[in-house]
Structure 1
Amino acid sequence: AITVGDRNIIETTQLSVTEALRWYERLPNRLSDRENQIARQVLKEIRSRLGFLVDVGLDYLTLDRASGTLSGGEAQRIRLATQIGSSLMGVLYILDEPSIGLHQRDNDRLIGTLVRLRDLGNTLIVVEHDEDTIRSADWVIDIGPRAGEHGGELIHSGPLEGLLATERSITGAYLRGDRHIPVPRTRRKGNGEWLTVRGARENNLQGIDVAFPLGRFVAVTGVSGSGKSSLVAQILYPALAQVLWGSREPAGKHDRIEGINHIDKVIEIDQSPIGRTPRSNPATYTGLWAPLRELLAAVPDARLRGYRPGRFSFNVKGGRCEACEGAGIVQIEMHFLPDVYVQCEVCKGKRYNRETLEIHYKGKNVAEILEMTVEEALKFFEAVPVIKNKLQTLHDVGMGYIHLGQPATTLSGGEAQRVKLATELSKRATGKTVYILDEPTTGLHFDDVARLLKVLGRLADAGNTVIVIEHNLDVIKSADWVVDLGPEGGDEGGRLVATGTPEQVGADPRSYTGRYLRDVLPSAPPRVSARSRRREAVPA
């Protein structure tokens, strides 16, 4: 086998970026003078490119990691590292939320990298909600003032100082401190029971035991690559789903999980689409569509014609437009190109036939009801409790601007996640459910984060357990309990660094999260129970 420094090419690519950088830095000491002369330029280029990967917070990735397994944020930062290495000048770079999935420590590195690209003579346009990134920008463009139909206006375009002076800007209000997400006055006590993962050793986890208090809002934190998703998404959720749902999805390596008898459901609320076809929409997903169809079928005209609720479904024959089969759009297959969707020429996008559209409730037919926003529908159906309650939960999670019949394929990941949250809020709570969310603040503005925290708080107040993987300091400071993994990413991570209330983790000198958390916590800690003040007894 061909080797360099006793390693072949396969062994070299199995190293993490950090390990590889360390190995290549020591490699010249193992080469002869002649070999060093031959390899000098190559080694310099390799070390430089590995250094760029470290700078954008990807030091925990292995060099042979399949590109298909990378998150969107990781793939974007790899492309960014490639551009830094090219040292081009006069280029316009456009980045969409490059801080996704980054710990504050790694985010500082990323901002430094962006500044370096700018200093080379390039222009960077960054779509971002991260406060540090906004404050580091030379020019800020603020669109708003709110979302959907209530937005779309240019609120400010200019230096940061101008944004801070703009009264209409919600972003400016949060940056000035006029609006803020407060630290809770009290922390939830929970029900005294614990869910404990024993011997977690999936990926880089070092055989750790981790306890989650039940009946609380729990944040799982740590630098990028520290093992958070391995613990929660690859071990905890699949293992609970196997026991509670009979799932066949294999769980990551661990010994056992204790305390499952204290819960009755586990639900993962992620940012995957709520539907993969234009037929799916917020009304169908949240269960709002069934009572709406029943209401239309109860209208005197509908009863006179013998129409039943199925008449108002766009998924079955009868009341739908058969030309587009109730989709409102027609799919045109394009050879060698993506398929194209065009509006149906028969129903003009209304989905239903003429007879069905003749049935009106308070002057609106079914197509016009589907075109309503949640905010409009909330007022329209105020006298129908079963419909109003479901609409209210959508409004509470900040989705008042979306249309009831809006195709699911047009919703962003964050919007899809909030529709799922609204669906859970509208269900009757058992008080024994574990909700798992992986970075729910992705793509959310400060104001949306505040609204999200209220929703998660309602789930926890009902006695449920909410476990969130998160880097956002506003979420972490609002949690009742924090589990911090690390201290680094990759092989240098996978250990339990700190656990406790945000104040306790903030006081731990070993925790990178704690260092940043101290800056957002007030000097006087929130009131907790006497048992919590003594430092809670975590299961041994």
Structure 2
Amino acid sequence: MSPLHINEERTVAEQLHMYIKQGYSRLFHGGDFKRIEDVVEKEDVDNLKAEDIYLVIDRMSVDNGKDSISRLVDSSETAFYEGDGACRIMFLPSMICYDFSTKFEADGITFEEPSDNMFSFNSPAGACPECQGFGNIVGIDEKLVVPNTSLSVYDGCVVCWNGDKMSAWKNEFCRKAAKDDFPIFEPYYNLTQKQKDWLWHGLPSEKKSNIKDRVCIDAFFMMVKENQYKIQYLVMMNRYRGKTVCPSCHGTRLKKEAEYVKICGKSISNLVEMPITRLKEWFDNLQLTEHEEHIGRRLLTEIKNRLQFLLNVGLGYLTLSRMSNTLSGGESQRINLTTSLGSSLVGSLYILDEPSIGLHSRDTERLINTLKELQGLGNTVVIVEHDEEIMRAADYLIDVGPDAGRLGGKIVFEGNAALMNDVKVYEKYPDSHTVRYLIGKETIELPAGRRKWNRSINIKGARMNNLRGVDVSIPLNVFTTVTGVSGSGKSSLIKGILYPAVKRLMGDVCDAPGEHSSIDGDIKAIKHIEFVDQNPIGKSTRSNPATYVKAYDAIRDLFAQQPLSQQMGFTSQYFSFNTDGGRCDECKGVGVITVEMQFMADLILPCESCHGHRFKKDILDVTYNGKNIDDVLNMTISEAIQFFSDNNQKAIVKRLKPLEDVGLGYIKLGQNSSTLSGGENQRVKLAYFIGHENQEPTLFIFDEPTTGLHFHDIKRLLKTFDALIERGHTVVVIEHNLDVIKCADHVIDMGPDGGDCGGMLVACGTPEDICKNRKSITGKYLKEKLSL
């Protein structure tokens, strides 16, 4: 027999009718066997309790015969199926019963048989049913409810409980909190997870109460939801809604059944949340039985090797659960590199574009060892690189130059990297900037002295991501570098806290800053704050360096003043490819026609009307000293400066000169912004600020501005920073490049390591001070640059 199990929200009557259709005829109820048809016709079925009814699967006499045993097994399996894992055997006529169940006796839980897909959030078999494997749902956002975690409950950290009317909730919670020893005067960030749960879901003394009768944040928003028909409550509900962690899977993205499977007390979610450094240690120290070791030997070898590859390329601070869209370009490239190492390919050609981007000098050493390991397998590795350590570690160097743009394109050195130790090689290859720097003929000189400072912006209690309550001062009117190994907390401190916090204090709209206790100091000493990132300089496909630095306005005015323009009535607007008039009507000033190919990549063809010149023929007939507008836009920055200098156009040259000063003399004046690299975009923005007339004190923040820069270009960049500081501005740079760090007035070194082992202020002061600190990994490598 099997207990009555009602599926799919059927009633008892509907379930009994279903049994009749399936061919069953009897059930056990009230101490007697009855026909199902009789029960349905003669009894009040709706009042019958399902737990008192048993479906009779089979009646038989058992002996030792094969047929009898086979029938017993089949009937038992059917009983377990119909009873949802429960079965009862009754012996007649004694009526002695034995109950069996596939569920655990203590809590009735069931376990499904594990499979690969069960541990994948990309599969319906493993994804959390509530969030569909995303880990987030739209709900009440903790960051919106408690925006300032340095406040206590008593001081009003729960902002929806502030105000005359809603403060009654806070007062009532504070009154009840004493009974459960809840610390109402403790800052929110200091509360334990259990105490936060009390604040959100109810105090322990209220557990027996209905959620609506409790005094907690959940109960508050339940009240707000019930009153949404009133406009003020609807507005309040929407104000605090946002992406929040899924309450079912708690952000793991897997269904609860996947969490039941554990190895040495750890579920798969516990493991992927560990930094790779700790995860490798866990697998190295894993204690398994002989049988388990036999089953997992090959798998464990693969896991350990792949984790070691990730450590070797400097990614030990990442967790395996990290979203791929939050990785930097350098991190993504190094992960792809470890994939290649893990596949153990032989006889392949690997081409890497600046794999050292975002790497500390310590991690660069590990990367070099990984690349040599890849080469040792029988592969060829070709790297486009500017990093000195990688160049010196190479077997063969090919240097292209001597300069950029039209002044480059030649092979100025080709040979064994060991030749860089021979001073005589300079006499043979005098045009190579790389050779001059590597043999020491040309260097990035140390500044004559370090600038002194007496004003600063002070951040206290920085706790964003892995920061551990850091207190730090950012000096003003000097050149500051923020250093540390990858994942040490540099970006969290500067991009996540300093920039948005100061921008908000200035009254600008910005994302909420990361968790911190306070920010004060001489903030009024600066009038603006600019984060010069590597994002594209314009959203339009027609944006280019000339339009961004405002040089193109003067160029259009110049062409509008030419005799043919005045004769034809062409104003400066006719020389713009953003407005109708002079631009090509067919391509709208883009120069190309984009053909959408649906499921294939778009097809980009030159415009047949203007042949890629972007303007109408009448506009192209207007010339200035033999050059039309298209000729000017196709000039490099250096060519344009020379051209307009020869013709005494000082206003245009003044706008273009900063682009050359930051090492962008090789790019074209009208080059599409989408074709610029991240480093080029950043330097175009820097050039704009240098050429800007606004002289009010500004705090400039740069995130690794040396990305993609040669020694020669870094030297120029440092001169640009000096020019900004001489104008009364402040420069803060997040950087790994030792040539930049050694030239700083003040260094803030984060660490000591990445991830959970980082987030602390290791040292701060001049570069010489950093070198004296034994805990500083940056100081260890900086000593060589400073010859200490």
TM norm structure 2:
0.64
Instruction: Give the one of 630, 652, 661 matched to 1:367.
Output: 630
Map of 2:273 onto structure 1: 14
Say which SS state the counterpart of residue 318 (structure 1) adopts.
Answer: coil
Alignment of 1:482-501 (within 5 A): 482-501=747-766
Structure 2, gaps ≥5 residues long: 1-259
- Taking the TM superposition and a 5 Å limit, the aligned residue runs for 1:412-423 are 412-423=677-688
Paired residue type of 1:348? H
Decide whether aligned partners of structure 1 residues 501 and 431 sit closer, same or farther in structure 2, where only a CA change above 3 A counts. Answer: farther
Find the counterpart in structure 2 of residue 464 from structure 1.
Answer: 729
Partner amino acid, structure 2, of 1:57: G
User: For the Cα contact (< 8 Å) 1:215–1:463, is it kept in 2?
Assistant: yes
- The aligned residue for residue 458 of structure 2 is 196
Aligned twin of 1:255:
517
Deviations 1:325-384 (A, max 9, x none): 111211121121221222111112221112222322223222222122222221222212
1:252, distance to aligned residue in structure 2 (A)? 1.3
Q: Give, in whole Å, the separation in 2 of the partners of 1:53 and 1:372.
A: 44
Q: Which amino acid aligns with 2:759?
A: G
Name which of 388, 397, 400 aligns with 1:131.
388
Tell me the CA shift for residue 42 of structure 1.
2.6
Alignment of structure 1 residues 397-436 onto 2, 5 Å: 397-436=662-701
Tell me how far apart the structure 2 counterparts of residues 461 and 450 of structure 1 sit (CA, whole Å): 17
Q: Residues of 2 paired with 1:64 and 1:483: CA distance?
A: 29
| Distance apart, 1:162 and its partner CA | 4.5
The reply on whether 1:288 has 2:573 as its aligned counterpart is no
Cα distance in 2 for partners of 1:522, 1:9 equals: 48
Aligned residues: 520
For residues 243 and 328 of structure 1, what CA distance do their matches in structure 2 show? 44
Q: Which has the higher contact order (CA 8 A, sep 6+)?
A: 1
Residue from 417, 434, 449 that aligns with 1:171 = 434
Residue identity in the other structure for 2:344: S
**What per-residue deviation string (whole Å, max 9, x for no partner) do you get for residues 253-308 of structure 1?**
11221132221111111111112443111111111111111222222332333322
SS at match of 1:168: coil
Name the SS for the 2:482 alignment partner: strand
Q: Which amino acid aligns with 1:74?
A: E
Q: Which residue of 1 aligns with 2:232?
A: none
Aligned to 2:401: 144
Matches within 5 A, 1:253-402: 253-259=515-521, 260-382=523-645, 383-402=648-667
Q: Does 1:226 align with 2:488?
A: yes
| 1:39 shift after superposition | 2.9
Structure 2 residue aligned with 1:502: 767
Which whole-Å CA distance do the structure 1 matches of 2:575 and 2:610 have between them?
15
Instruction: Kindly provide the CA deviation profile for residues 172-213 of structure 1, in whole angstroms up to 9, marking residues without a partner as x.
Output: 1100000110110111224x2111111111111101011110
Q: Is the 8 A contact 1:429 1:462 kept in 2?
A: no
1:63-142 → structure 2 map (5 Å cutoff): 63-142=320-399
Whole-Å Cα distance in 2 between the matches of residues 218 and 444 of structure 1? 19
Report the Cα offset of residue 316 of structure 1.
1.0
Task: Please tell me the residue identity of whatever aligns with 1:263.
Answer: I
Helix, strand or coil at the partner of 1:400: coil
Q: Secondary structure at the match of 2:364?
A: helix
SS at match of 1:114: helix
Q: Give the drift of 1:106.
A: 0.8
1:51 aligns with 2:313: no
Contact 2:703 2:734 in 1 (8 A): yes
Cα distance in 1, alignment partners of residues 309 and 630 from structure 2:
53
1:445 matches 2:702: no
Letter in 2 for 1:433: T
Of residues 437, 440, 446, the one that matches 1:183 is 446
The CA distance in 2 between the partners of 1:61 and 1:294, in whole Å, is 53
Alignment RMSD (CA, Å): 1.6
Q: Which amino acid aligns with 1:496?
A: L
How far apart are the structure 2 equivalents of 1:420 and 1:447?
A: 20
Structure 2 matches for 1:526-537, cutoff 5 A? none
Please give the alpha-carbon distance, in whole angstroms, between the structure 1 residues aligned to 2:699 and 2:341: 43
CA contact (8 A) 1:277 1:407 kept: no
